[in-house]
Amino acid sequence: MKGKTAFITGATSGIGKATATHFAANGINLILCGRRQDRLDALQAALSKHVQVHTLNFDVRDKKEVQQAIAGLPEDFQQIDILINNAGNAHGLDPIQDGSTDDWDAMLDINVKGLLYVSDAIIPKMIRANSGHIINIGSTAGKEVYPKGNVYCASKHAVDAINQGMRLDLNGYNIRVGAVNPGMVETEFSEVRFKGDADKAGKVYQGFKPLQAKDVADIIHFVVTRPYHVNIADLVVMSVDQASSTVVNKA
Ligand code: NDP
Ligand code: 8X3
């Protein structure tokens, strides 16, 4: 994998940031994406000591921005060997009858349409190269539905379907496609879900040992470092304390 280039969306925090750090330590060049420029700059400064790093600032919801950012990549970063479709989040945790349509728009636009816009811009490069690896970050929320999870779960079920669809349609192009579906991971995810309420977010991870972003990054690195003919199609990972979205062994 040394000298290959990975394109990571949502690299400014959580799973994406941990994956960028883990990849850099293993010699994988990086294209890091997000909207928070200060964080992109800090990551570039830290990780470019180890590998080549290019940053792109765009909102995955903005189709034009996505297309222009990827079309304008410098020559050295034109070939993308690994795409980590990670940018995403939950907005709200409400029964469907109380849900906000703005929250629903955000989740479907970011987690589903954003993932598609980025993939649309990168898949042709992989087809031309007759090589590539796409990892879609799904969730246990894409495998089951939990109370009040309604639209977030729908968005991750869509990622599950898109992952399967990509693998079917790209069969024959020598491109690996697979999903990594984590259970609860302690990141900024719940802070975003609860709109900055750190107390409420912190309680989600209290009383048990949740996955950490670096645990998921380690698994993503394992997935990309298998022999090229080995494609891990769909991987679910949870804390030992978690059995399903709703069954969590809390002290
Ligand atoms: P974080 O909130 O820590 O990170 C989310 C990342 O997505 C940030 O880097 C953020 O960057 C980026 N992002 C969010 N919205 C946009 C947007 N509109 N355009 C571009 N980038 C965006 O959460 P996680 O690391 O936990 O989440 C990463 C992925 O993992 C998500 O797809 C999430 O659904 C999934 N997941 C998370 C789990 C968890 O329990 N934490 C469990 C299962 C799956 P910026 O704000 O700078 O744009
Ligand atoms: C994030 C995990 O359980 O909050 O996808 O849906 S959960």
Residue 243 placed within a domain = no
Q: What is the pLDDT of residue 2?
A: 84
Residue 132 placed within a domain = yes
The ligand whose atoms approach the alpha carbon of 187 most closely is 1
Residue 232 placed within a domain = yes
Q: How confident is the model at residue 240 (pLDDT cuts 50, 70, 90)?
A: very high
Q: What is the total count of domains within the chain?
A: 1
Residue 247 placed within a domain = no
Q: What is the pLDDT of residue 210?
A: 98
Q: How confident is the model at residue 180 (pLDDT cuts 50, 70, 90)?
A: very high
pLDDT digits (tens, 9 = 90+) for 142-179: 999 999 999 999 999 999 999 999 999 999 999 999 99
Cα–Cα nearest to 179, from 84, 107, 82: 84
CB 47 within 8 A of CB 24: yes
Residue 242 placed within a domain = no
Residue 112 placed within a domain = yes
Q: H helices within the chain, ranges in order?
A: 14-25, 37-47, 63-71, 101-107, 115-129, 150-169, 189-193, 198-204, 213-224
pLDDT digits (tens, 9 = 90+) for 84-123: 999 999 999 999 999 999 999 999 999 999 999 999 999 9
Q: Which of 118, 187, 192 to mutate to test the pocket of ligand 1 (most atoms within 8 A of CB)?
A: 187
Output the ligand 1 site: residues, CB below 6 A.
9-16, 34-36, 59-61, 86-89, 110, 137, 139, 182, 184-185, 187-189, 192, 213
Give bridge partners of residue 185 from the DSSP assignment: 211
Q: How confident is the model at residue 60 (pLDDT cuts 50, 70, 90)?
A: very high
**CA 77 to CA 58: how far, in whole Å?**
17
Quote the mean pLDDT of the chain: 98
Task: Report the CATH number at residue 211.
Answer: 3.40.50.720
Domain of residue 141 covers 5-237
The radius of gyration computed from the CA coordinates of the chain, to the nearest angstrom, equals: 17
Neighbour count for residue 186 (Cβ, 10 Å): 18
Residue 10 in tokens: 């949502």
Residue 216 placed within a domain = yes
Q: What is the pLDDT of residue 1?
A: 82
Residue 248 placed within a domain = no
Contacts of 193 (CB under 8 A, 6+ apart): 89, 90, 91, 92, 93, 152, 201
In this prediction the ipTM stands at 0.99
